[in-house]
A and B are shown apart, each in its own frame.
Chain A
Amino acid sequence: SQQGEEDPQALSIQEGENATMNCSYKTSINNLQWYRQNSGRGLVHLILIRSNEREKHSGRLRVTLDTSKKSSSLLITASRAADTASYFCATDPIQGAQKLVFGQGTRLTINP
């Protein structure tokens, strides 16, 4: 079963705008990771944030984590057409047999 729920399921914006995706999860975690997937291909790791961190930046990416609300957000600034992809959050739960538990993903479309 999926631990994470992502919001929105689909997002369409103009090139140059910022894109924000949200992720909620259910259990206590060691870390939360964001991945990108292009058209049913393999996943590309974007950023990892640990449970004791609140915010992390990597290039045009900004991730926040609120463990009290069990939620995270991914912000992509100054979006480009090449950012068009599906974005998944994945949690590394403290307990349980799962390695990573993925959300359903957000399909992001950047319009030129």
Chain B
Amino acid sequence: KAGVTQTPRYLIKTRGQQVTLSCSPISGHRSVSWYQQTPGQGLQFLFEYFSETQRNKGNFPGRFSGRQFSNSRSEMNVSTLELGDSALYLCASSDLAEDEQFFGPGTRLTVL
């Protein structure tokens, strides 16, 4: 099976812009979770989607949003970008029958 894919791999934006990141889970996985990784805060959970519904949400402002499509692919959107949003954004998929999460390579977002 192909692994989790994330696009784009690198992104440079300026403050105030918005950005959309994409994640394609492993075939057959219906749960997709997003995480933000920064040197200061480490790995933090953003949200989880299952069957197009948000199941869990971390402690992030409303500028961070996501959605999941019927084919389980997921997107996350960050509006009104701030310098502090510069981070590695990781997507993970899982089969609900298992607890292990499979991570993609991440999208490195730089906000200037």
Question: Measuring CB to CB, which residues of chain A are less than 8 angstroms from any residue of chain B?
Answer: 1-2, 30-31, 33, 35, 40-45, 48, 88, 90, 92, 97-105
Contact = CB atoms under 8 A, between A and B. Distances in A.
A27 B57 CA distance: 18
B42 interface: yes
Contacts of A97: 56-58
A2 B43 CA distance: 8
Contacts of B35: 100, 102
Contacts of B90: 42-43
Interface residues of B, number: 26
B99 A33 contact: yes
B64 interface: no
B75 interface: no
8 contacts: A30-B99, A41-B106, A42-B4, A45-B101, A45-B102, A97-B56, A100-B45, A100-B101
Interface string B80-112: 000000001010100000011111111010000
A102 B43 contact: yes
Given A41-B105, A43-B90, A92-B99, A99 B43 contact: no
A101 B106 contact: no
B33 interface: yes
Contacts of B106: 40-42
A31 B99 contact: yes
B35, B44, B99, B102 — most chain A CB neighbours (10 Å): B99
Contacts of A40: 37, 88, 106, 108
Contact of A100 (B33, B102, B108): B33
Nearest to A45: B100
B54 to A, nearest CB: 10
Given A31-B99, A33-B100, A99 B45 contact: yes
A98 B100 contact: no
